[in-house]
Structure 1
Amino acid sequence: MKFDRNTPPAGSVRDWLDARAEAGGTAFIFPETDEVLHWPALREHAAKVAGDLTAQGIAKGESVAVMHPNGLEGVKALYAALYGGFRATMLNLAAGPDALGYAMEHSEARVAFVHDSQIEMYRKVRPDNLHRYTPSDASEALHEVEASDDALLMYTSGTTGRPKGVVHTQSSLLAGGWTVSVAHELTSQDRGMGVLPFYHINGLCVSVIGSLVSGGSLAMVSRFSASKFWNQAETGGITWFSVVPTIISHLLHGQAEPSPALKRRLRFARSASSALAVETQRGFQNRFGLAIVESLGLTETAAQCLVNPLDPHLHKIGSAGKAISNEARIADDVGTECARGAEGEIQIRGPNVMKEYLKNPEATKAAFHGDWLRTGDLGRMDADGYVFVTGRLKELIIKGGENIAPREIDEALYEHPDVVEAAAFARPCAQYGERVEAAVRLSEASTATGEELRLLCEERVGKFKAPEQVHILDELPKGPSGKIQRLYLNDLLYGP
């Protein structure tokens, strides 16, 4: 199997792992433990465990749960499930007991790969029919696997209602790694930095599957650390990395610096999962001299669906980029495409789009206008095809009948040099229906006050849109990828 920038990957994950194993070389390195995993050894392990699972009666496309943090054993578990033609069900370790138990039961998994650090939680929430994988001496011929077969089940954050189980096929999962490889011109000489959890779609498709499709490799660490990041990147020998805006901000406000050798080797940094504030992007690029490629991705699109071109001269700061290797449009409520420059819902069509929400045909139907996936993001598209995200449909603040995009307030707050994290949110109000408030995290030495930040917003966006109060917190609530969860802020500050 060879990477072709003009054609989505054919075959299955098994086919691609076989091809990488035949070519040889390094697949993963783990800077924290000095472990190295080569493609042939990864294929050998995956084939052995997959044969064992088949002998134990696990059917093709059946869910196999993976309850692991980033690390050697987690990677091996993931590839064993994918290689056998099973539906790798990635359990979000940051989701909490209720969501974990729901995912285990809803997925109908009967076997789980469980890391030793997760045993207590696993035993607490597992349904009776789910058992931890125990190796046996048996083996059986593997299931035949086709591109259209299920490969991945990943549950959404579930900020409103129960999480939905996003199902990707072998082909759409591989396409997730392909879109990244095409847009970033990845080759077998590239090594990424796996700092985001691989049980999140960004960490899985961009970093792990991107390396599989491109033939490159990945330096994986257990979690992000602002003080250790640049040293780990140096030790890992990376050429690029994919993170989220909160990590970009923490690196910008941190004391650590990349070495001159690392700066020379790094080709680009990549930001996704939520909008990157303009001031944060400019500040990072000015300080470190490293271009940030901003992008947009969803669990439903196997990560990347919009991305700025690799050439820094073609970047449009403030834009999530354009469709590369898939299609994007802006449409109204009934699915009619909007004129360029008009605001509407961002919709995506392409080989990386999900198959369905598991056991939820109503939600699946509602997620599409024809074959266009409704992202739930609001935006506009300029004459060059670049998309500018203006907000989330579910996150809009409606004050006195006027729609206010929280991102506009976020951007104003990030203009203050001490603001590390910021999120505006809606607060119920008897007079206007909803009013604007905001929460921030400040750098350690900051003496800024909430009133000072409120006045900054008033100056930037006007009195009507400015938050009535800015709360200063030690930490803002985040999802597993590091994305700030603004919908939780009202309950966090005022109670349910």
Structure 2
Amino acid sequence: MTIRTLLDSGADNAVALTAPDRPAMTYAALRRHVDSVGRQLAGNGLGPSDRVAIVLPNGPEMASAFMAVAAYMSAAPLNPAYKESEYAFYLEDLAPKLVIVEAESENPVRAAASALSIPVVEAVVGDNDPAGAFRLFEAEANATPAGADNEALVLHTSGTTSRPKVVPLMQRNIMASARNITASLELTDSDHCLNIMPLFHIHGLIAVLATSMSKGASVCCTGGFNALKFLDQARDEKISWYSGVPTMHQAILLRAKRQADAAKGLGLRLIRSSSASLPPAVFEELNDVFECPVIEAYGMTEAAHQMTSNPLGNGKQKAGFVGIATSPEVCIMDQEGNRLTGDAEGEVCIRGDNVTPGYENNPAANESSFTSGWFRTGDQGFFDGDDYLKITGRLKEIINRGGEKVSPLEVDNVLMEHPAVQQVVTFAVADRMLGEEIGAAVVLADGGELDAAGLRAYAETHLAKFKIPKHIVFLDEIPKGATGKLQRIGLAQKLRLED
């Protein structure tokens, strides 16, 4: 299967894409649109081995542009909020043959592309076009959809501690991941998802969009996440599920708890969480407020998103665990590459059809990241007696306090249980005596009253003394990355806590 053939799953008159205040796009229309865009690109000399950068705002055109480009060549979606210098880096690294932008866009990607002699084309939407319809060029030529071994999507790693690495994903990688997620969530063609994830990120592109399309289901493509509008959008669209990162769920809960009847009235079949660890306290609140299963999954770009997921069955979800393996093989290894058994803690490693063949032009990274065919995720964790995986932290984020290793996730989860705490992220702070000390950035709940001494006193009843944060900073908002994930690495510098 390929991106193009998965689109054949939807019935001709079934809805594929919706958007607020726009006519819906059916599967028949989506297939025509994807093939037309493929011919337009072919008419301008592009083929299956070429890359096309997509710089569009979140919404139906971004969704359909990804599906169309990925069906015929390789899509390189980029964050539309980047600065010109950032675009210059990514475009030079990716070497796309074309950049797609919004009509009349003044995005700085134009200047960056011009400096690199990369053509730019506008996606022009007609007055009465359905959600997702646009035109690039008038000229068309015969086009052949990409094959299973062609590259379909190329993204960069986050690059929080080093130069971002290029991650190519083949058609077969994406198809394998879509199958895995579909099975985990038991999706059918009657499901309708509200997409709140950015579509330049693997989570939204695969877990929401490609997965839904593979079952002939539908997606509402919003202009981006807006916690104030979420309940109204979900009600108006009659959605059956949504997927987000923990910070999004927390923001939704702030409103949903005040409108409990409206939240329960949505009748959601499930809520999915991925891309960062979901605090157990948030898991329980979501479950209580929306009265539906909360499915925490574990994914990363190099795996075309999902690797493990909590099963959907009633009562089979474990708070604080990211579930069982969902088709790719998952094991725990020590530093020397030996597979560990039982509940031993070590590095989470994966292999399977969804895993990238390797980083582009980076033999050093490939050598350190692959061991005997297994990809080393950089995450630390263990399996419990039921084969549920628990992530205990990123190896690069583990705090080394004078030789004592502290998992920031463990501290997060304890502090989150305090009733006055709305959000917390624990991180390392450089220390002259111990090498690293423990810091915590905290956002209080509405009406919450708490000081650093009170939070430390609470922590002391749940944590060993060496795990108690020395540095506690109360903030209105914790800095986040482009996809809404809280950023541990570099937070001490941002908050000027480094010695």
Q: What range is the shorter-chain TM-score in?
A: over 0.9
* Corresponding position of 1:362: 364
* Corresponding position of 2:240: 239
- Letter of the 1:164 partner, please give it: K
Task: Decide which moves more: 94-103 or 265-274.
Answer: 94-103
Could you report, residue by residue, the CA deviation over 1:294-320 in whole angstroms, capped at 9, with x for unpaired residues? 111101111111100001321222111
Could you report, residue by residue, the CA deviation over 1:312-357 in whole angstroms, capped at 9, with x for unpaired residues? 3212221110101221111111221112111001111121111222
* Corresponding position of 1:448: 450
CA distance in 2, matches of 1:22, 1:252: 35
SS at the partner of 1:294? strand
Structure 1 pair 263/179, CA: closer, same or farther in 2 (3 Å)? farther
Structure 1 pair 169/468, CA: closer, same or farther in 2 (3 Å)? same
Could you report, residue by residue, the CA deviation over 1:90-135 in whole angstroms, capped at 9, with x for unpaired residues? 1123555443321111110121111258633213433422221254
The answer on whether the counterparts of 1:276 and 1:318 sit within 8 Å (CA) in structure 2 is yes
Q: 1:14 aligns with which of 4, 8, 13?
A: 4
Structure 1 pair 20/256, CA: closer, same or farther in 2 (3 Å)? farther
Instruction: List structure 1 runs of 4+ shifted beyond 4 angstroms.
Output: 94-97, 258-262
Indicate yes or no: 2:319 matched with 1:324: no
Identity of aligned residues (%): 33
Q: 1:488 aligns with which of 473, 476, 490?
A: 490
SS at the partner of 2:315? helix
Q: CA deviation at 1:421?
A: 1.9
Q: CA deviation at 1:192?
A: 1.4
- Letter of the 2:246 partner, please give it: P
* Corresponding position of 2:125: none
Q: CA deviation at 1:282?
A: 1.2
CA distance in 1, matches of 2:273, 2:292: 12
Structure 1, unpaired ranges of 5+: 1-10
* Corresponding position of 1:148: 149
CA distance in 2, matches of 1:167, 1:118: 28
The answer on whether the counterparts of 1:195 and 1:221 sit within 8 Å (CA) in structure 2 is yes
* Corresponding position of 1:371: 373
Q: 2:91 aligns with which of 87, 104, 108?
A: 104
Indicate yes or no: 2:60 matched with 1:60: no
Q: CA deviation at 1:458?
A: 2.6
CA distance in 1, matches of 2:420, 2:104: 36
* Corresponding position of 2:169: 168
Structure 1 pair 119/370, CA: closer, same or farther in 2 (3 Å)? farther
Structure 1 pair 12/93, CA: closer, same or farther in 2 (3 Å)? same
Structure 1 pair 209/326, CA: closer, same or farther in 2 (3 Å)? same
Q: CA deviation at 1:220?
A: 1.8
SS at the partner of 1:222? coil
Q: CA deviation at 1:242?
A: 0.6
Structure 1 pair 20/259, CA: closer, same or farther in 2 (3 Å)? farther
- Letter of the 1:239 partner, please give it: S
Q: CA deviation at 1:264?
A: 6.0
SS at the partner of 2:465? coil
* Corresponding position of 1:80: 68
* Corresponding position of 1:388: 390
Could you report, residue by residue, the CA deviation over 1:341-398 in whole angstroms, capped at 9, with x for unpaired residues? 1100111112111122222232123221122111111001122211111110110100
- Letter of the 1:28 partner, please give it: L
CA distance in 1, matches of 2:264, 2:27: 25
CA distance in 2, matches of 1:262, 1:98: 46
Could you report, residue by residue, the CA deviation over 1:59-115 in whole angstroms, capped at 9, with x for unpaired residues? 32211001112212212221221222x110011235554433211111101211112
Could you report, residue by residue, the CA deviation over 1:32-67 in whole angstroms, capped at 9, with x for unpaired residues? 333412112122122112112112112322110011
The answer on whether the counterparts of 1:246 and 1:420 sit within 8 Å (CA) in structure 2 is no
CA distance in 2, matches of 1:237, 1:116: 31
TM-score normalised per structure 2: 0.92
What is the 5 A alignment of 1:262-301?
263=265, 265-301=267-303
CA distance in 2, matches of 1:117, 1:290: 43
The answer on whether the counterparts of 1:477 and 1:486 sit within 8 Å (CA) in structure 2 is no
The answer on whether the counterparts of 2:264 and 2:291 sit within 8 Å (CA) in structure 1 is no
* Corresponding position of 2:17: 28
* Corresponding position of 1:40: 28
* Corresponding position of 2:110: 123
The answer on whether the counterparts of 1:157 and 1:479 sit within 8 Å (CA) in structure 2 is no
Structure 1 pair 90/264, CA: closer, same or farther in 2 (3 Å)? closer
* Corresponding position of 1:437: 439
Q: CA deviation at 1:459?
A: 2.5
CA distance in 2, matches of 1:478, 1:447: 24
* Corresponding position of 1:192: 193
The answer on whether the counterparts of 2:196 and 2:225 sit within 8 Å (CA) in structure 1 is yes
The answer on whether the counterparts of 1:95 and 1:480 sit within 8 Å (CA) in structure 2 is no
Q: CA deviation at 1:235?
A: 1.1
CA distance in 2, matches of 1:460, 1:116: 55
Structure 1 pair 99/343, CA: closer, same or farther in 2 (3 Å)? farther
CA distance in 2, matches of 1:342, 1:355: 28
Could you report, residue by residue, the CA deviation over 1:264-287 in whole angstroms, capped at 9, with x for unpaired residues? 631110111111111121122223
CA distance in 2, matches of 1:350, 1:477: 34
Corresponding pairs, count = 483
Indicate yes or no: 2:57 matched with 1:69: yes
- Letter of the 2:179 partner, please give it: W
SS at the partner of 2:427? strand
Structure 2, unpaired ranges of 5+: 123-135
- Letter of the 1:375 partner, please give it: T
Structure 1 pair 259/50, CA: closer, same or farther in 2 (3 Å)? farther
The answer on whether the counterparts of 1:52 and 1:137 sit within 8 Å (CA) in structure 2 is yes
